[in-house]
Structure 1
Amino acid sequence: MSVPPNHVLVEWMSDQRLGSRELAELVNKAVAELTGRPGGLDDSNIRAWRSGRVRCPKSVQLRALEHVSGKSATDLGFERRTRSPATAPAQEEPPVLRRHLVQGAVAIAASAATPTYAAPRRIGITDVERLQQRFADIIASDHRHGGQQTIEQQAAALSDEALQLQASGAASQRVRGYLYASAAAFRSSAMWAAIDGRRYNSAIAHMREAQQLAEMSGDQAIKFRIWSHAGTMYRHMKRPADAAAANDVARNLAITRRDPLFASLGHARHAAIHATAADLRATRRSFDAAQEAMQRADPDAQRPVWMRAFYDQAELDSLALSAFMSLAEYDAAEAHAHRCLAALRPHMHRSRAITTSRLALAQLRQGDLEPAVTSAMRVPQDAATSHPRVIEMLAAVGAELRKKAPTSSPTRLWTEYARTLKGTVK
């Protein structure tokens, strides 16, 4: 008797532009984060899921898949395995779904309202871990979409929830420190989403609250993240002096001496700031320092989820691309764009769209019209019509094409293509 294929999973993978091998790699990484041991899936396992030969993955693989996708097993077309109460492990928690993010904040706040005669609730490290799991979901959504106001709102709501949890019961000093650090991390993600979406007034408000929470936590990693984000924000606002001052706070934290990867990120972002001040020599010197520090960093060291999720060689090349674009060094910018695209991890959808848009501009400004249009047309349409930075850059591609060669075939091709993008890109 033939087994029907899992059309729901097939359709979701198609929407996400994921092949079987790519999905296997993502699930294996999620298994490693959940268990501390790498997953053993390959593309044949994913094909078995797609074909329906496997009606439901094993428990840890299923949790990892739900973490990667943000969907439940049933939403992915699987039939959950059932266990009797006697055999079900007591510590296993239900998967956390992104769509429950805001509703979860309300539910936890309501459950915290205990009667006056009840003993105070004891808040433990498992409560922090639940929040951190949902934070990982927000990070994943940010890498997929970027800059969206919904991401900003979800991250801010989760920060408020961490503070509500603080007030809902008794906790050790260590757990309270973790909760303040979590609230600061969530607020800094709201700040980053606002920066990415060009909503700078909102970003500044999130920054101030995040800084206060980070001070109460005493967590060096989150202090670094917030001040480093502040440097990036001021750089985008064309305020290089403020950007350098904020990034210097991050670079002078003790964590940059303990972990070369933090030092590398600090140097790389400082290089991009030097570029906005038109200092080519300082830009190159800082990128050399960033590269050297990255080579010294232990790839297996314990780091926060936000750091593990984005900073690697691809991000270093992305920052170099941005810097050399600012300096009008377009041949160097193009080289870093190609390196970045070759090294980007599959889940970095937003970064791929931004890098491809910058590549198109770098090629165009070297006079390479046809490659520029080809690159611009490779930007996924969802990013081309919804991400503010991508929309800006693609609009610049169209404007420069019309200025450089108004009647050329690449200009006509781009103009016709841009009409299909819901009128967003000109």
Structure 2
Amino acid sequence: MQTTRNLVLTAWMAEHGYSSNTLADAVNQAIGDLTGRLGGLDGSSVRDWKAGRVRWPKSATRAALTKVTGLSATALGFVPRGRAASAPAPPQEGPVNRRSFLSATAATAAMPAPTAAPPHRVGASAVAKLQHKFARVVAGDHQHGGIRGIETRALELAAEAVHLQSRGAASQRVRAQLYGVAAAFTSSAMWAAIDGRRFDAARRHHERASSLASMSGDQAIQFRIWSHAGTLYRHLGRPSDALAANDVARNLSIVRRDPLFGSLGHARHAAIHGATGDGAGVRRSLGHAQEALDRADGATARPVWLEAFYGQSELDSLALAAYLALGDWAEAEAHAHRSLAALPPHMHRSRAIATARLARAQLGQGDLGPAISTAMNIPQGAKRHPRVSGMLGAFGARLRECAPHSPHTRMWTEHQREALA
């Protein structure tokens, strides 16, 4: 049987920047949100929809498509089972019916055409509301870290921003801003997934975020997305890919215009150099990062995500990560103390991570008592954060390896046992 291509779905995907693979990923995620179990679609499933080989997906898939696109399945060009894809041919008419039809047509032509309702206008106020919601997502991330709730909420808001594109008329400038804020939300979902060690999800979010950012033309959000990608690959143990991704961010023209972007790019490059064992690269990149930070003008208006976290404390935190990777424990400890001293009080997740790294630096120098005291001072709630719990697990393993019979080791083991009880 000859199939009819779904041109409506194909056009929607082209307008909103979806490939077959990225739409499949988004629908799979939406199925997971709706049913508690991630969907099993792939790019070939979407190609079947576009080609008309599958004209009416399953009910869960239709609900997920509506969640992703904001449109019903029929509005996306799908055809319910038992219904023809094209409009049915008109019935055969007799002479009387034909005369009635022609008379009605002539009468209709004489009537004035009804005035169409003006399209809904999407303006700057809608963008401002979304940007306010984005600031709240950023604040939640600094308080709680990579929990699924932040990831899910960010994706919902990204979808809301994209759907505004199809719900009304907007200027080219507003459309670009909507794509930019959608990219920003998706990049926050990406960061939440990285922070929560959900790396497969982070890769999917990166693909979608980079596509949206390209359509927005917003270099600040493009920097954030590719800088996050560098961090993702560093955590995955792929430093060559991490350097390449971070270089995409560092080569954007916004880095040359604003030293604060340049400083963050250099600081994250230092952390990656640490993962490769390149001590000279670490020191060189940190020197560039500090010099650029010292030049940054505090009066310059910058995105909320950058203003919310980057400054001297974060630079020292990235230096701490770099020197830990090199095994330079004393230098790492010095940066840990500087980072913690300058860290804003609301950044609970960052404080827990820096404290766990400080404990590791102290342990590396053989200071068992101070190391255990530092680790035990991390709040119990923060210890459940995936990155923090992983660091403390590695801390305990190293402690048992270097001092298996020490009373300090027994103290730490008992502390952990009570914490898990």
Q: Same fold (TM over 0.5)?
A: yes
Match of 1:391 among 389, 392, 398: 389
- Aligned counterpart, 1:403: 401
Equivalences for 1:110-121 in 2 at 5 Å?
118-121=117-120
Verify the 8 A CA contact 1:384 1:421 in the aligned structure 2: no
Q: Quick one: which amino acid aligns to residue 242 of structure 1?
A: D
Structure 1 or 2, whichever has the larger Rg, is 2
Q: How far off is 1:118 after superposition?
A: 4.1
Q: How far off is 1:117 after superposition?
A: 6.1
- Aligned counterpart, 1:352: 351
- Separation (CA, whole Å) in 2 of partners of 1:312 and 1:339: 12
Query: Which digits, 9 at most, give the CA deviation of each residue in 1:234-278, with x for residues without a partner?
Result: 111111111111111110100001100000001111111111111
Q: How far off is 1:408 after superposition?
A: 2.0
Equivalences for 1:58-97 in 2 at 5 Å?
none
Q: How far off is 1:165 after superposition?
A: 1.3
- Aligned counterpart, 2:88: none
Give the secondary structure class of the aligned counterpart of 1:311: coil
Q: How far off is 1:319 after superposition?
A: 0.2
Q: Quick one: which amino acid aligns to residue 392 of structure 2?
A: L
- Separation (CA, whole Å) in 2 of partners of 1:419 and 1:402: 15
Equivalences for 1:357-372 in 2 at 5 Å?
357-372=356-371
- Aligned counterpart, 1:3: none
Equivalences for 1:306-345 in 2 at 5 Å?
306-345=305-344
- Aligned counterpart, 2:40: none
- Aligned counterpart, 1:422: 420
Asked if residue 159 in structure 1 is aligned to residue 158 in structure 2, the reply is yes
Cα–Cα, structure 1 residues 420 and 118, in superposed 2: closer, same or farther, change >3 Å? Answer: farther
- Separation (CA, whole Å) in 1 of partners of 2:301 and 2:238: 34
- Separation (CA, whole Å) in 2 of partners of 1:152 and 1:178: 21
- Separation (CA, whole Å) in 1 of partners of 2:352 and 2:117: 53
Runs of 4 or more, structure 1, over 4 Å off, are none
Q: How far off is 1:409 after superposition?
A: 2.3
Q: Quick one: which amino acid aligns to residue 300 of structure 2?
A: A
Verify the 8 A CA contact 1:143 1:351 in the aligned structure 2: yes
Q: Quick one: which amino acid aligns to residue 209 of structure 1?
A: R
Query: Which digits, 9 at most, give the CA deviation of each residue in 1:59-103, with x for residues without a partner?
Result: xxxxxxxxxxxxxxxxxxxxxxxxxxxxxxxxxxxxxxxxxxxxx
- Separation (CA, whole Å) in 2 of partners of 1:392 and 1:147: 14
Deviates more, 1:310-319 or 1:118-127: 118-127
Asked if residue 212 in structure 1 is aligned to residue 225 in structure 2, the reply is no
Query: Which digits, 9 at most, give the CA deviation of each residue in 1:361-405, with x for residues without a partner?
Result: 1101110000001110111111102x1110011112222222222
- Aligned counterpart, 1:180: 179
Aligned length: 313
Give the secondary structure class of the aligned counterpart of 1:303: coil
- Aligned counterpart, 1:24: none
Q: How far off is 1:406 after superposition?
A: 2.5
Deviates more, 1:389-398 or 1:254-263: 389-398
- Separation (CA, whole Å) in 2 of partners of 1:250 and 1:140: 23
Query: Which digits, 9 at most, give the CA deviation of each residue in 1:126-160, with x for residues without a partner?
Result: 11111111111111111011111111111111101
Q: Over aligned residues, Cα RMSD in angstroms?
A: 1.9
- Aligned counterpart, 1:246: 245
Q: How far off is 1:422 after superposition?
A: 2.5
Q: Quick one: which amino acid aligns to residue 410 of structure 2?
A: R
Q: How far off is 1:420 after superposition?
A: 2.4
- Aligned counterpart, 2:104: none
Q: Quick one: which amino acid aligns to residue 396 of structure 1?
A: A
Q: How far off is 1:172 after superposition?
A: 0.9
Any gaps of 5 or more consecutive residues in structure 2?
A: 1-65, 76-114
> Share of identical aligned residues, percent?
62
- Aligned counterpart, 1:286: 285
Verify the 8 A CA contact 1:155 1:186 in the aligned structure 2: yes
Q: How far off is 1:407 after superposition?
A: 2.8
Give the secondary structure class of the aligned counterpart of 1:167: helix
- Separation (CA, whole Å) in 2 of partners of 1:209 and 1:126: 25
Q: How far off is 1:122 after superposition?
A: 0.8
Give the secondary structure class of the aligned counterpart of 2:345: coil
- Separation (CA, whole Å) in 1 of partners of 2:368 and 2:406: 9
| TM, length-normalised to structure 2 | 0.72
Q: Quick one: which amino acid aligns to residue 366 of structure 1?
A: Q
- Separation (CA, whole Å) in 2 of partners of 1:290 and 1:408: 41
Q: Quick one: which amino acid aligns to residue 387 of structure 2?
A: R
Deviates more, 1:406-415 or 1:226-235: 406-415
| TM, length-normalised to structure 1 | 0.71
Q: Quick one: which amino acid aligns to residue 383 of structure 1?
A: A
- Separation (CA, whole Å) in 1 of partners of 2:192 and 2:387: 12
- Separation (CA, whole Å) in 1 of partners of 2:298 and 2:246: 24
- Aligned counterpart, 1:54: none
- Separation (CA, whole Å) in 2 of partners of 1:122 and 1:305: 26
Q: How far off is 1:416 after superposition?
A: 1.6
- Separation (CA, whole Å) in 2 of partners of 1:231 and 1:397: 25
